């Protein structure tokens, strides 16, 4: 009886020490974020791509998904040992990204969330089952897209915050594959847009407004914008039903398609 208890206990302890060595020691050298001057919306999205790719490399080089997945199987969830290492893992990812992200999330090949920087509510859940109606599942399903951007969404309908998710696959060598997601508040886009510019989706809903209008609410002048014409011409002036002239510009990056509407 003692032997049957002792061996698994030693196995779990060794697993914990293995993860501690991988995550608490200095990570393999990775290029720090470039101090890129972000002047445009395109610059912002390019920087996000660079960040998520650097973060994925750190996760891969340190075998973080493999180690956390192993602990999850060993002790029925890995929560205790995971919490001990979360700060170290977060520091690794923060070291190679620019500080605009509200959260980082790691999902393994089975769809289990094995790490978040701060959202304990989703830790240990599966995006194919209990989180199937969340944007996290969309990121998982698009894991073969080199860098996937999930359009503006809410993760918690009660907190009033709206986010964009950027994700990419973590895969290589003999490690357990998975994906990493970086999450940023849509308000961060104000750093490259003036307050007179609204972002409208091709569904006619706001993504970001300079007039204190909540994202994902209808834009009244959408019917006046000829969307197909806009894609062909890239930009043109439109007079809204209210009589206000605006300049509309087409913007696309990866899976994102928006209309930038600038008033006087």
Q: What is the mean pLDDT of the chain?
A: 85
Domain of 245 in residue numbering reads as 193-262
Residue 127 and residue 167 in one domain: yes
Residue 13 and residue 71 in one domain: yes
* The pLDDT of residue 222: 95
- Give the three-class secondary structure for 137: helix
Q: How confident is the model at residue 75 (pLDDT cuts 50, 70, 90)?
A: low
Going across the sheet that includes 163-170, the strands are 113-116, 103-108, 178-185, 163-170, 148-153
Residue 134 and residue 39 in one domain: yes
Distances in Å between the alpha carbon of 206 and those of 25, 45, 127, 212, 229? 45, 19, 27, 11, 20
Under a CB-based contact definition with an 8 Å cutoff, are residues 72 and 78 in contact? yes
Residue 118 and residue 223 in one domain: no
* The pLDDT of residue 13: 41
The number of distinct structural domains making up the chain is 2
Residue 14 and residue 111 in one domain: yes
Angstrom distance (rounded) from CA 260 to CA 43: 15
Residue 183 and residue 198 in one domain: no
- Give the three-class secondary structure for 33: coil
SS3 content of the chain, % helix, strand, coil (to 5): 35, 25, 40
Angstrom distance (rounded) from CA 23 to CA 122: 22
Choose one of 166, 189, 212: the last residue of a domain.
189
Report the range of poorest mean pLDDT among 68-72, 147-151, 217-221, 224-228. Answer: 68-72
Choose one of 125, 159, 189: the last residue of a domain.
189
The token pair that represents 176 in the structure block: 């357990």
Q: What is the mean pLDDT of residues 136-146?
A: 96
Residue whose tokens read 């914990």 = 16
Residues in Cβ contact with 217 at an 8 Å cutoff, skipping those fewer than 6 apart: 205, 206
* The pLDDT of residue 156: 79
Q: What is the mean pLDDT of residues 233-253?
A: 93
Residue 223 and residue 116 in one domain: no
Residue 137 and residue 51 in one domain: yes
DSSP for 225-243, written as a single string: S-HHHHHHHSEEEEE-TTS
Backbone angles phi, psi at 148, to 5 degrees: -105, 130
Q: Which of 208, 212, 215, 141 is closest to 181 using CA atoms?
A: 141
Residue 175 and residue 199 in one domain: no
Q: What is the mean pLDDT of residues 69-84?
A: 68
Residue 240 and residue 168 in one domain: no
Under a CB-based contact definition with an 8 Å cutoff, are residues 249 and 260 in contact? yes
Strand partners, 82: none
Q: How confident is the model at residue 126 (pLDDT cuts 50, 70, 90)?
A: very high
Choose one of 171, 189, 207: the last residue of a domain.
189
Percent residues over pLDDT 90 in the chain: 65
- 142 or 18, greater pLDDT: 142
Residue 35 and residue 123 in one domain: yes
Q: What is the mean pLDDT of residues 217-227?
A: 93
Residue 103 and residue 41 in one domain: yes
């Amino acid at each position: 009886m003692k032997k049957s208890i002792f061996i698994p206990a030693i196995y779990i302890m060794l697993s914990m020490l293995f993860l501690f060595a991988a995550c608490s020691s200095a990570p393999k050298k990775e290029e720090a974020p470039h101090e890129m001057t972000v002047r445009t919306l395109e610059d912002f999205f390019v920087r996000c791509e660079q960040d998520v790719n650097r973060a994925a490399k750190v996760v891969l080089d340190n075998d973080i998904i493999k180690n956390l997945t192993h602990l999850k199987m060993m002790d029925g969830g890995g929560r205790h040992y995971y919490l001990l290492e979360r700060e170290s893992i977060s520091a690794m990812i923060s070291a190679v990204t620019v500080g605009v992200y509200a959260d980082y999330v790691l999902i393994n090949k089975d769809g289990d969330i094995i790490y978040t920087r701060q959202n304990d509510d989703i830790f240990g859940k599966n995006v194919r089952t209990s989180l199937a109606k969340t944007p996290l599942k969309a990121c998982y399903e698009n894991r073969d897209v080199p860098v996937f951007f999930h359009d503006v969404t809410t993760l918690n309908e009660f907190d009033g915050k709206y986010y964009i998710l950027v994700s990419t696959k973590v895969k290589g060598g003999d490690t357990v594959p998975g994906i990493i997601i970086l999450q940023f508040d849509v308000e961060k886009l104000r750093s490259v847009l003036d307050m007179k510019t609204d972002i409208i989706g091709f569904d006619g809903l706001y993504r970001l407004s300079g007039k204190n209008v909540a994202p994902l609410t209808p834009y009244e002048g959408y019917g006046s914008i000829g969307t197909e014409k806009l894609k062909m011409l890239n930009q043109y002036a439109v007079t809204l039903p209210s009589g206000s002239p605006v300049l509309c510009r087409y913007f696309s990056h990866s899976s994102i398609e928006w209309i930038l509407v600038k008033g006087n």
